[in-house]
Structure 1
Amino acid sequence: MNSLIFLGTGDAMGVPRVYCDCDICLEARAEGINRRFRSSVMVDGAAGQFLIDCGPDWRKQMELIGQRFTHKILVTHAHFDHIGGLPEWADACRWTGTKGEMYAPLVVLELIQVQFPWLSKHIDMIAVDEGISLAGWKITGWKVNHGHNGYSYAYRLEQDGFAWAYCSDSIGLGTEEKQPLYGLDLLVLGTSFYHETAEYSTRSVYDMVEAEQLISEVKPVEAVYTHMSHHVDVRSNYPLPAGVVLAQSGMKLILEKE
C-alpha cells in the first residue's frame, strides 16, 4: 500500500520561531500540535520509498519515525529549508557505506553542488528534467513561480490510476504552471498564512485565501495545505474548501484509489 507521511509541515523558519513568544509559538514550544519542522514528506510503498526535500530538521524527522537512513531524496529547489539536511545525509551515506541517490532538475543539482561541492563523493546526483520513475511512481517536474524568492519545482506523481502533486513553494501560478495540477486525486500545496497582508511583491508562497481560488480552478479530489508559518494555528476552525485539511507532523495518507 502506498502512503504519504508528513515529516515536516513548516515554512522556512519552522515553528516555534526561536525569537517569538506569540500564542502559537508558545503552544508549539510546549511540544504542542503546532510544532512544525521544515517541510518534507516521505513516499512509502511496496516498491520502495523516497523523501521529497531534506531540510535542516532531517535527522530529527528520521528519529521521530524510527528510521535511521533513507536512500533516495527528490529535491524541489536549492533553498536552505529544503536542502539544509543534505550534509548530514551525505555523512550518513559515508558511514554506512551506501551511495545515496539525489534527484532534482539539473539547474537545482548545479546550485546544490556549488553550496556543498563534496556531496557527490557520497551521493549520486541524478537529473529529472526528462521525468523519472521512483518506487513505482512516474514523476514529472516543472518550474513554478516562487515569487520574491525566485522559482521552485513542483512534482506530479502517477501510479495505478492515482495522481497527486507536491507543490510546496509557489505563488500566483500562471496558466501553463497550473496545467499539471488538473485531474489530481490529491494536491499538497504550500500555504504559509491564512491571509498574508504583506506587500504582494515581497511574498513567495500562497496564502489559504488565494489557495481557495486555485483549488476551485484545478479541482483536486482532496488537498492538504503545508509549509505553514507561525501565523497558522491548526487548532483554529479556518473556513477551508470541502476536502481540504491542514497537514500535521506524522500525518499519513493513503495514495491509492478507494
Structure 2
Amino acid sequence: MKIHFLGTAAAEGFPALFCRCEHCLKARQAGAQNIRTRSSVIIDDELKVDFPPDTLLHVLRDGIDLGLVKDLFVTHSHSDHLRAEDLAMRLPVYAHGLDHPLRVYGHDNVIRICRGAAGNEDSSRVSFRRIVPFQTVDTGSAKVTALPANHDPNETCLLYLIEKNGKRLFYGHDTGLLPDETWEWIERTQLDAVILDCTNGLLPFTGGHLNIEAVLDIRNRLLERGTLYKDGTVVVTHFSHNIGLLHQDLTEIFDPYNIKVAYDGMIIHL
C-alpha cells in the first residue's frame, strides 16, 4: 500500500493564508517541509481521502494523475476537507479521456453539498453514495469502513479503516479523543499503520482535535492492546500554525517514539 500525503496542514494552511505571526514568517523563510497545504492523501494512486481546496496545487506540484482515482472518501464537509465545486471539473467539457466514474462517499451533509455543487450529475463521470458509521464499502480493490469521529457536534464526521492488499490503515483525523464505539471497532482488528490528527501540538487539548499528549496516549493504547503491530507505522499530520512548531521541532518531539511527522509530498509504503 502506497500512501501519498498531499497536504498536512489544518484549515488555514501553514504558513496560514493571511497570517504574519512569527511562526508563519519562519515557515515561509525556511520553506521545504515547513510549507503545508490542506490535508489529504492518495492511496495507490486510485483511492483518495478528502478533496481540499488545494487539490489542483497537489496535482500540479506532485504530478498526480487525478483521472486515475476511482474512489473518494470524504471525512466531513468543512471547507478545508471538501471543495465540492471542483467536482464539476470532472464533467464533460472540463475533462476528457476518462474511462470510469469517480465514486464519492460521505455522510448526509457531504453528499448533499456534492450533489448541489456538481450540477447536472453525470453518473458516467461522478456518482455519490451516502455511507453511515460502521458501514463497510468494498471498492473492488479495497475495503473501507466508516467510523465515528469526535469532531463537530453539528455533523456526523467520519474516520476510515482502509484494508488493501493484506494491510490495514486507520485514517484518524479530524478528531479529538476517539469515541468508545470507534475504539471497540478498531480493537477487534490489527493495524499496520495509523494516521492521527495533531492539530494542537503542545497547546492544551481541545475537544475536536488532538494534541501531542493525546496522540501519544492513543498510540500507547493501540500498542498495549495489541491493536497496532509492534513494528506498525504511526504518522501525525494536520498541523496548525498556532502550535508554533516547524517540521524540525516536530520531528525532534516524535522521533524518540518512532512516530513519523508527515509533510507535503511524503510517501510511505506498507
TM-score (norm 2): 0.81
**CA separation in 2, counterparts of 1:7 and 1:188?**
14
Q: Which amino acid aligns with 1:21?
A: R
Aligned partner of residue 26 in structure 1, secondary structure: helix
Q: Which amino acid aligns with 1:78?
A: S
- Out of 120, 125, 128, the position equivalent to 1:125 is 128
Between 1:233-242 and 1:151-160, the stretch displaced more is 233-242
Q: Which amino acid aligns with 1:185?
A: D
- Out of 90, 98, 101, the position equivalent to 2:88 is 90
**CA separation in 2, counterparts of 1:169 and 1:239?**
19
Q: Which amino acid aligns with 1:247?
A: A
Assess if the C-alpha contact under 8 Å between 2:85 and 2:114 holds in 1: no
- Out of 182, 188, 194, the position equivalent to 1:187 is 194
Q: Once the 2 structures are TM-superposed, how far is the Cα of residue 39 of structure 1 from its aligned partner?
A: 0.4
Instruction: Tell me how many residue pairs correspond in the alignment.
Output: 247
Aligned partner of residue 18 in structure 2, secondary structure: coil
Assess if the C-alpha contact under 8 Å between 1:75 and 1:104 holds in 2: yes
Assess if the C-alpha contact under 8 Å between 1:164 and 1:186 holds in 2: yes
Q: Once the 2 structures are TM-superposed, how far is the Cα of residue 131 of structure 1 from its aligned partner?
A: 1.8
Assess if the C-alpha contact under 8 Å between 1:42 and 1:52 holds in 2: yes
Match of residue 36 from structure 1: 36
Superposed CA RMSD in Å reads: 2.4
**CA separation in 2, counterparts of 1:15 and 1:42?**
20
Structure 1 runs not aligned, ≥5 long:
none
Assess if the C-alpha contact under 8 Å between 2:111 and 2:129 holds in 1: no
Q: Once the 2 structures are TM-superposed, how far is the Cα of residue 204 of structure 1 from its aligned partner?
A: 1.5
Assess if the C-alpha contact under 8 Å between 1:156 and 1:180 holds in 2: no
Aligned partner of residue 145 in structure 1, secondary structure: coil
CA separation of 1:248 and 1:239: change in aligned 2, threshold 3 A: closer
**CA separation in 2, counterparts of 1:162 and 1:205?**
26
Q: Once the 2 structures are TM-superposed, how far is the Cα of residue 96 of structure 1 from its aligned partner?
A: 1.8
**CA separation in 2, counterparts of 1:165 and 1:78?**
20
Assess if the C-alpha contact under 8 Å between 1:6 and 1:251 holds in 2: yes
Residue 153 (structure 1) aligned with residue 158 (structure 2):
yes
Match of residue 235 from structure 1: 248
**CA separation in 2, counterparts of 1:49 and 1:197?**
37
**CA separation in 1, counterparts of 2:32 and 2:120?**
35
Q: Once the 2 structures are TM-superposed, how far is the Cα of residue 20 of structure 1 from its aligned partner?
A: 2.3
Match of residue 20 from structure 1: 19
Q: Once the 2 structures are TM-superposed, how far is the Cα of residue 165 of structure 1 from its aligned partner?
A: 1.0
